[in-house]
Structure 1
Amino acid sequence: MAQAIQMHLNQALMRIPRRAESADRPTLAATYVAAGSFSAMINSADHQILFGRRGTGKTHALLHLQELVERTGDLAIHLDLRTIGSTGGLYANTALSAAQRGTQLLVDTLEAVHDRLFAYAVDGRSADQDALLRGLDALVSAATEVEVIGETEQEQTFGDAVERECSAELSVTPKGGARAAARQKTSATASSRRKRTGVEQHRVLFGPLSRAVQAVADGVRPARLWLLLDEWSSVPVDLQPFLADLLRRSVLPVRGVTVKIAAIEHRARFFVPLEDDYLGIEVGSDAASAVSLDDALVFDQSPEAAQAFFRELFASHVRPILASMLRTAVPGEFVDAAFHRGAFPELVRAAEGVPRDAINIAALAAQQARDGRITLAHVRRAARDWYLRDKQSVISRDDEADRVLGLLVDEVIGRRRSRTFLLPARDRPAAIDTLCDARLLHILRRGVVDPRRPGRLYDGYAIDYGCYVTLLGGAAADSAKHLPADVFTFDKAVLDLRRLGQFS
């Protein structure tokens, strides 16, 4: 019986959904676990940008926020920007100008928002349906303005034809009378034609659009309209400022509307300076704040907080799964029942603060354990498999990033016997951002000040667990001498990439 229960515990780990969109909304609400005060921070009426790498739970956070605000009677529209777009790869077509592609992106986005609001209106959930529908009509008019770009030709043709026919007839009747007749006919013609040749293009007028959005917001009152834009980084980088500028000019100033944007920090461009102005959103001014899930999930200085977070994460996810599998009571402490001593802290260390990585590593470890408890060896093998399968395979297609990672591993782990290092916060190479996106590097500390040069700021990085797990061998989890150290002292941690041969 105990063996069967253990097998069900491992199967539950393997059945945890990897992505938030694959679960229904009640499950998402029941399984959401907030790191610290993060949930309270995003549940405010301020416009915010939510940053986080892949797998940190951005979509889950937005869907959980949608559930919360709708419970209070507000209206939340969750928009996955991966699903926005025209056919034929229009956004990636470099033959068109960025302005043309950006305008089409705005039109497509507004159309998607309109469709969601229209469904809300026809369901009869609006307090003032007529006002909302009028606002939606204005939104359509503002979003579908079309102009012809090209030459205009005007052609006029005039014709004048006059026909006169005169005839006279005189006849005498038998009674001695007379009859006369005359006829005249006149006709004239004229024509005018204007010909326009060119290409029809959409244009978005921010003034009418802003008034239309305000009319929509007034139509849903007393509810508040929450616009939750997910997968921002799926939009081409050169078009993101156009969409951001639309929000700044036509949506952010509107009363009764809150905008939340989820993006990957290194793949997002919200702001482009112009000569006398700027295009996009200025974080801290137009958008009240940027919230980082990466920072909320960094537990390098508090291993206990990290373990508590992931304990709750796994328990909340497997509880509904086990309830449908086990006829007996679900174990109160799932982690203690599923993992051997020392295995779960190692799983938390391997995840490096990324929930999706933790779930995938746990699933692979459970697959290896079968009907037994998960051991330290299972976790380490699973972490290595996940590293090779998901992370290394992706980065191997980028020769430069792959080379930089090799240099870092050789220097930091091989020579310095550490897993952490410091780099200047400004002017970091693109390869470092690529490695962070792939979760092969993890930012543990931001804005570290050099006491000898207070004007210089550094960021503290850690190399991913998968890069050095094979060096641990069979070392016990509590054997600190086998684990690379976390060192952030300036005389030992600062790394000069030029000296490593990264740049000439």
Structure 2
Amino acid sequence: MRAINSILMRLAKRAEKLQPEHLVKSFVDVGPTYTLLSSTDNQIMFGRRGTGKTHFLAVLHNDVFNKGIISVPIDMRLIGSTGGIFSDQDIPLSERATRLLSDTLCMVHEVILEYIFEHNLENATETAQLLNDFIEQATTLNIEGISEKETGSSNQFANSTSAKAGFSNIGMSAGLTASEKTTSGDTTKNKVTGKKVLRIHFGAITKLLNKIVSKLPNKELWVLIDEWSETPLDLQPYLAELLRRILFPIPGITVKIAAIAHRCNFMEHDFETNASIGIELGSDASSVINLDEYMVFDNDSEAAKKFFKSLLHRHAIALDKNSICDQEVSLFINDVFSQSSSFDEFVRAVEGVPRDAINIISLAAQTALVSKISIAHIRKSAQKWFQVNKHAALNSRPAAVSLLDRIINEVIGLRKSRGFLISNDKSYELIDYLYDMRIIHVLKQGVSAQNAVGKKYTLYALDYGCYVELMSSRNAPLGLIIESDENDEVQYIEVPKSDYRSVKNSILDLEIDHGQSRLELVTSTEHLQLPNKQKRNTIAVEKPLDKKLLNAIPKNIGTLKITGTIYIPIILVALVLRKAKGFDTSCASDLTKVINEHIVININRPKIATNNMSRELRKDNTLDLDWLVFQKNGRNPLFSLNDKWKKYWKLYFGKTAPRL
């Protein structure tokens, strides 16, 4: 097994399992996210599972703590009493929320108390007394019910006299005893019947907390709440309201909350009374950060590739104890993947989700073992991760499986695309569920079309795992979505836009079932079937390039000229590389791509433009080359090598041609 594959197999899948120093070493920022999160504003950070919310909060906690500021990390999965009272529908919402707040405040008390004694603060005694008062206010129980009082009295008198006489060998003895005992008393009993209810006095506890914060280092306190969505949905507005009343008004307290967008409810509004409880996004919480908006390949391929290069590199470096990984990120990526197209395929497969990325690369390393990771390894691992992780969870919602079956058959089967648009006029719970489960992904919101003025859509893409089996077949998706021009001619679009001419061929209307009554029979992922899955005509998946072949390529490619041009040796090398990958014929863009992959591997050479390659391939002196075969193919002519290429390789480069 390659040592670097061994490291990739051991990458940690969850941030809470890691030590703080490892979290810091492996952290990769997403655009301006960490800068925004580091402000003292109260903020909410949204992101689906696996997008790095816990990692962000852990690094933020570490940075704040290192500045000498007390930070309280709270995992809502671990907050609460036994017995499941927070989910007990028989207990009033207000009482359940108050108990949950009390447990949260107890966590704040515990962290502050531990800090002030560990760091020997000057005013530790005074602060500790304030904390005692604080915890008393946070946990005070009142009894609501009927009070009864019993009063009674008792008097007792006792008198006794006795006389005794006797003889023995020693002599005679006699005795007289008398006793008298009088007892009296009053008894009072208090009996209270009723229910103990937790009452938190907002004014008193806020006043105490304000005093406590004024005694803390830098007069600051950060509260970082993770896994908010684990709180029962009906409780969330009440807990949010209590936090807003107690923590938000105090100068020096900063609150950050990490949540899953479709699994949280920060505000409840009563339209009859026009009253609201909870946190108003954008007002009470001054800014909202959404991690789902970043890192998707289709949105910005270069930004996504840059992020996932750093993600893999930093996670591997953090584990590497034997200096196996190259410190230069580009060289590290070249050592992991067989070619740059393999890395591109990896970034597409992870769909912008860091946890999926770590799991897929770990599985790919297990598959590759002694070789570099190729496209075939990525596809096999992505399919396995989708089936093991996402299929199992999806089976708990048969209706969601039915909907997914419809989307797959309509979008991939009929349209041969992987994206679709849904109108914003109505929300769909099952679509939100598929999104939360990372089965579909949001690429762009607020999309409009010239043929539907005033309408707004959300652009979704199916997860890579939904169609990876088709990637090496003729049934593979041809593009992201279909756009129509003014002549109603369609074309496939790869890069998502905000405005299109016409998107009628890409809209998924969930109100119309198109007569697909068969969908009701699909209630398990075992029944899902890709279009023509059993009858596909497969094409060969490209082979990884051998290291010996890459080393055989002359180092002066890009500067070496044959008959006055650098392109003749470049075209020869490109066709050889394509042939080694398993492709007998290639077009200009194929040759450009493969030569640029080689240039990336050597990192110090300029890239070749496709239009320059096309222009050179149209020239007569190129087409007349003795080793080049030209084949007409409409606007995309194809090129290949004949048996004479080895002779010209030695003629051009002065060494024997590599064996393919």
1:272 and 2:280 correspond: no
2:242 maps to what in 1?
Answer: 246
1:95 to partner: Cα distance: 2.5
Structure 1 16/430 Cα, relative in aligned 2: closer, same or farther at 3 Å? same
Q: Give me the TM-score of the superposition, normalised by structure 2.
A: 0.67
Structure 1 residues 419 and 126 mapped into 2: Cα distance closer, same or farther (>3 Å)?
farther
Paired amino acid for 1:40? T
- 3-state SS, counterpart of residue 335 of structure 1: helix
Output the CA distance in 2 between the equivalents of 1:225 and 1:53: 27
For residues 418 and 69 of structure 2, what CA distance do their matches in structure 1 show? 46
CA contact (8 A) 2:70 2:112 kept: no
The SS at the match of 1:82 is: coil
In structure 2, relative to structure 1, the CA distance for the partners of 1:329 and 1:45 (3 Å cut) is closer
Would the alpha carbon gap of residues 372 and 280 (structure 1) be closer, same or farther in structure 2, given more than 3 Å must change?
same
1:5-54: CA deviations, max 9, x gaps? xx111111111111111111111111110111111111100000000000
Among 112, 116, 121, the residue aligned to 1:117: 112
Give the alignment of 1:3-22 within 5 angstroms. Answer: 7-22=2-17
Match of residue 513, structure 2, among 491, 500, 503: 500
Q: Determine if contact 1:226/1:258 at 8 Å carries over to the other structure.
A: yes
Query: Aligned pair in 2 of structure 1 residues 189, 115: CA closer, same or farther (>3 Å)?
Result: closer
CA contact (8 A) 1:126 1:219 kept: no
C-alpha displacement of 1:492: 2.5
TM superposition shift of 1:474: 6.3
What pairs with 1:41-440 in structure 2 (closer than 5 Å)? 41-124=36-119, 126=121, 128-154=123-149, 194-274=190-270, 275-324=273-322, 326=324, 333-341=331-339, 342-440=341-439
Could you tell which deviates more after superposition, 196-205 or 328-337? 328-337
More RCO (CA 8 Å, sep 6+): 1
Question: Is 1:79–1:229's contact at 8 Å kept on the other side of the alignment?
Answer: yes
Deviation at 1:430, TM superposition (A): 1.0
- Given that 1:50 and 1:291 are in contact with CA atoms closer than 8 Å, whether structure 2 keeps it comes out as yes
Tell me if the contact between 1:441 and 1:464 (Cα under 8 Å) persists in the aligned partners. Answer: yes
Deviation at 1:299, TM superposition (A): 4.2
Deviation readout 1:281-310 (Å, 9 max, x if unpaired): 111111101110111333423211111110
Change (3 A) 1:130 1:424: farther
Q: Which amino acid aligns with 1:321?
A: L
Greater C-alpha Rg: 2
Preserved contact between residue 299 and residue 353 of structure 1 (Cα < 8 Å):
yes
Whole-angstrom distance in 1 between the partners of 2:265 and 2:480 = 37
Displacement of 1:425 in angstroms is 2.8
Offset at residue 66 of structure 1 (A) = 1.2
Per the TM alignment, residue 242 of structure 1 is displaced from its structure 2 partner at its CA by: 1.8
Distance change in 2, residues 1:125/1:449 (3 Å): farther
1:107-140 superposed Cα distances (whole Å, 9 cap, x missing partner): 1111112111111121135453234223312321
Which range is displaced more, 493-502 or 372-381?
493-502
CA distance in 2, matches of 1:68, 1:474: 49
Q: For residue 316 of structure 1, report the CA deviation from its aligned partner.
A: 0.6
What residue in structure 2 maps to residue 447 of structure 1? 446
Task: Indicate how the Cα distance of structure 1 residues 226 and 371 shifts in structure 2: closer, same or farther if over 3 A, else same.
Answer: same
Distance 2:359 2:281 in 1: 34
Q: How many correspondences in the alignment?
A: 470
Q: Deviations over 1:436-465 (max 9, x none)?
A: 111001111122245555544321111100
Q: 2:255 & 2:425 partners in 1: Cα distance? A: 29
How big is each residue's C-alpha offset from its partner over 1:237-283, in whole Å with a ceiling of 9 and x where there is no partner? 11111211111000001000100000011111110113243111111
Distance between the aligned counterparts of 2:57 and 2:112, measured in 1? 18
- 1:126 and 1:132 in contact (8 A); partners too: no
User: What is the SS of the residue equivalent to 1:362?
Assistant: helix
CA contact (8 A) 1:299 1:306 kept: yes
Q: CA offset at residue 91 of structure 1?
A: 1.5
Supply the distance in 2 between the matched residues of 1:407 and 1:188 (Cα, whole angstroms). 88
The code of the aligned residue for 2:27 comes to: Y
Tell me the amino acid that sits aligned with residue 46 of structure 2.
F
- Structure 1 regions of 5+ residues with no counterpart? 162-186
SS in 2 for 1:285: coil
Letter in 1 for 2:264: A
Contact kept in structure 2, 1:297 and 1:354, CA below 8 Å: yes
Structure 1 residues 240 and 496, CA, compared in 2 at 3 Å: closer, same or farther?
Answer: same
Q: Supply the distance in 1 between the matched residues of 2:480 and 2:332 (Cα, whole angstroms).
A: 27
CA–CA separation in structure 2 for the residues paired with 1:48 and 1:425: 26
1:78 alignment partner AA:
P
**Structure 1 residues 63 and 155, CA, compared in 2 at 3 Å: closer, same or farther?**
same
Of the structure 1 ranges 138-147 and 458-467, higher mean CA displacement relative to structure 2 is found in 138-147
Deviation at 1:87, TM superposition (A): 1.1
In the TM superposition, residue 89 of structure 1 has moved relative to its aligned partner by: 1.7
* Distance change >3 Å, CA 20–CA 77, structure 1 → 2: same
Moved more, 391-400 or 145-154: 145-154
The 1-side partners of 2:208 and 2:275 are apart by 25
1:34 is matched with which residue?
Answer: 29
Amino acid paired to 2:105: L
What amino acid does structure 2 have at the position aligned with 1:494? I
**SS in structure 1 of the partner of residue 268 of structure 2:** strand
Q: Which residue of 2 aligns with 1:174?
A: none
Please give the secondary structure, in 1, of the residue aligned with 2:320.
Answer: helix
| Alignment partners' CA distance in 1, 2:378 and 2:388 | 15
Q: Residue by residue, what CA displacement relative to the aligned partner does 1:313-363 show, whole Å, maximum 9, x if unpaired?
A: 11111113233364x966752111110121110010010000110111111
Question: 1:493 and 1:354 mapped to 2: Cα distance?
Answer: 25
* Counterpart-to-counterpart distance in 1, 2:28 and 2:203: 41
Displacement of 1:189: 8.8
Q: Given residue 201 of structure 1, which amino acid in structure 2 is its aligned partner?
A: V
Residues 216/297 of structure 1: CA separation in 2 closer, same or farther (3 Å cut): farther
Structure 2 segments unaligned to the other structure (5+ residues): 156-182, 482-491, 521-660
Which of 369-378 and 483-492 deviates more?
483-492
> CA separation of 1:39/1:330 partners in 2, compared to 1, >3 Å: closer, same or farther?
closer
Instruction: Give the Cα separation in 1 of the matches to 2:120 and 2:318.
Output: 31
Structure 2 distance, partners of 1:160, 1:137, is 43
**2:343 counterpart letter in structure 1:** F
Q: TM-score, normalised by structure 1?
A: 0.87
Alpha carbons 1:150, 1:199 under 8 Å: kept: yes
